[in-house]
Amino acid sequence: MRSGPILGAVLAGGRSSRFGSDKALALLDGKTLLDHAMAGLAPHVADVVLCGREGGLADRPHPDMGPLGGLNAALHHALSHGFIGVLTTGCDMPFYPAELPAALIGDKPAVLQGQQLLGWWPATLAFELDAHLDEENNRSIYGWLERIGARIVEVPGLTLPNINRPEDLAALT
């Protein structure tokens, strides 16, 4: 794999329906989950963008595309700004382990087992994701992973919280 700058993207366009309010703005140790997610990615990438919400990259090709709309926006941004690929995380993932980029980054796209928004996506996938989103499908992340033959990465001993409900957040404090 050739080397070059990597873009970090926090996918934050979800509706937070199980959480009951905008979970990206929920506080953990005095900082929003969104701030935690951006800070967790920052040491591993040349730049971090926010996807799918005001102040960030708009979902592509249009709003309410789910995580793939945010990923598509990040891939096109990466491609047009000279990044070789994108490391992603969700706004509900306040921790980004230091060993994760080395486990994910490679010639093929990859996601952490059980955490499909923690992934590595070569920028060259931008137009294939355009085609995928233009087709008749349910736009699930699982269908996309299958289409592109993504690697599923296991990191022994790594357990990460995923905050979907207020009690998930409360368990971390």
Total tally of structural domains belonging to the chain: 1
Judge whether 14 lies within some domain: yes
CATH number at residue 52: 3.90.550.10
Judge whether 146 lies within some domain: yes
Binding site for Mg(2+): residue ranges?
92
* 1 vs 131 pLDDT, higher one: 131
The pLDDT confidence band at residue 152, using thresholds 50, 70 and 90, is very high
Judge whether 1 lies within some domain: no
Q: In the sheet that 110-112 helps form, which strands lie side by side, from edge to edge?
A: 47-51, 6-11, 85-90, 115-122, 110-112, 151-153
The pLDDT confidence band at residue 17, using thresholds 50, 70 and 90, is low
Binding site: residue ranges?
11-13, 23, 64, 92
Question: Which of these, 117, 108, 110, lies nearest to 41 by C-alpha position?
Answer: 117
Contact 42, 34 (CB under 8 A): no
The pLDDT confidence band at residue 15, using thresholds 50, 70 and 90, is low
The pLDDT confidence band at residue 38, using thresholds 50, 70 and 90, is very high
Instruction: Determine the structural domain holding residue 70 and report its residue range.
Output: 6-170
Binding site for GTP: residue ranges?
11-13, 23, 64, 92
